[in-house]
């Protein structure tokens, strides 16, 4: 439901709550994606008789298929083969660059290394490796280890650190419901003294200062 508004409300919060599918037929004063597929979700979902997705979700479907084929200890050669077979359209940023590198003969994790992938720091891996936390629910160290393995297909250095945080929190959340404890666990797991760790510290501090999350959203580190 959020696709029509992806990357639209960047400088300011969206002034309304998305609780249904919006389309091109809605109020023209509402800013939304009307020039690409994201603005026409209900039409495409109906035409395909299925969900309409993007690489944030599709890559995890391929990971699931790969694990069913090769097992949980799947290696980089095997996942590269699966990417080349199944991941070819509607992919962007670090995912796209990694896939192009595969066409040039690179095999993961070389496809994520900063000397090869100029998008190594982009927001991709934490969105496409959440499935490892489902595989290893409650096993936070193993979830983080395998999610990091997946992150290195497309990213490098601190660009992989958000994936560790996500993996730990999702894995632990099967049993731990205290949000603050989940954040503490993520902070303990990620490498210290880097950009992502500093960013998390900033958000935690602002959260304690402001009751309204919108105030935190306006802050800059």
The verdict on 90 and 181 lying in the same domain is yes
Nearest to 199 by CA among 144, 161, 142: 161
pLDDT for residue 51: 65
In a domain, 199, yes or no: no
The verdict on 98 and 120 lying in the same domain is yes
CA dihedral 27, 41, 60, 69 (to 10 degrees): 170
* Sign, Cα dihedral of 38, 43, 46, 47: negative
* Owning domain of residue 37: 1-52
Tell me the C-alpha to C-alpha distance, in Å, between residue 20 and each of 14, 42, 122: 15, 10, 29
In a domain, 211, yes or no: no
The verdict on 63 and 46 lying in the same domain is no
Residue pLDDT, tens place only, 20-50: 888 878 888 889 988 888 888 888 778 877 6
The verdict on 75 and 162 lying in the same domain is yes
In a domain, 207, yes or no: no
pLDDT for residue 172: 98
pLDDT for residue 28: 83
In a domain, 216, yes or no: no
In a domain, 12, yes or no: yes
Residue 67 binned pLDDT confidence (cut-offs 50, 70, 90):
very high
The verdict on 65 and 44 lying in the same domain is no
The tokens for 106 are: 């690179």
In a domain, 3, yes or no: yes
Residue pLDDT, tens place only, 154-180: 999 999 999 999 999 999 999 999 999
DSSP per position, 174-218 = TT---HHHHHHHHHHHSPSSSHHHHHHHHHHHHHHH-SSHHHHHT
DSSP 15: S
Q: What is the SS3 string spanning 139-176?
A: CHHHHHHHHHHHHCCCCCHHHHHHHHHHHHHHHHCCCC
Residue pLDDT, tens place only, 186-213: 999 999 988 999 999 999 999 999 998 8
pLDDT for residue 188: 97
The tokens for 184 are: 């503490």
The verdict on 75 and 131 lying in the same domain is yes
The rounded distance, in Å, linking the Cα atoms of 72 and 154 is 19
This prediction's pTM: 0.85
Q: How many domains is the chain built from?
A: 2
């Amino acid at each position: 439901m959020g696709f029509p508004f992806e990357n639209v409300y960047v400088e300011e919060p969206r002034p309304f709550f998305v609780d249904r599918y919006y389309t091109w037929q809605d109020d023209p004063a509402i800013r939304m994606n009307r020039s690409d597929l994201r603005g026409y979700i209900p039409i495409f979902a109906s035409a395909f008789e299925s969900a309409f997705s993007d690489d944030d979700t599709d890559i995890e479907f391929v990971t699931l298929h790969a694990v069913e084929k090769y097992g949980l200890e799947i290696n980089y050669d095997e996942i590269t083969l699966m990417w080349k077979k199944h991941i070819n359209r509607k992919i962007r940023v670090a995912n796209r660059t990694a896939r192009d590198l595969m066409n040039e003969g690179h095999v993961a994790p070389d496809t994520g290394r900063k000397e090869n992938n100029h998008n190594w720091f982009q927001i991709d891996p934490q969105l496409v490796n959440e499935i490892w936390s489902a595989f290893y629910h409650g096993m936070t160290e193993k979830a983080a280890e395998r999610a990091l393995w997946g992150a290195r297909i497309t990213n490098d250095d601190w660009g992989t650190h958000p994936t560790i945080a996500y993996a730990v929190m999702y894995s632990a959340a099967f049993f731990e419901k205290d949000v603050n404890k989940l954040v503490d666990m993520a902070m303990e797991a990620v490498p210290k003294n880097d950009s992502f760790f500093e960013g998390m510290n900033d958000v935690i501090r602002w959260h304690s200062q402001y009751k309204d999350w919108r105030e935190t959203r306006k802050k800059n580190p």
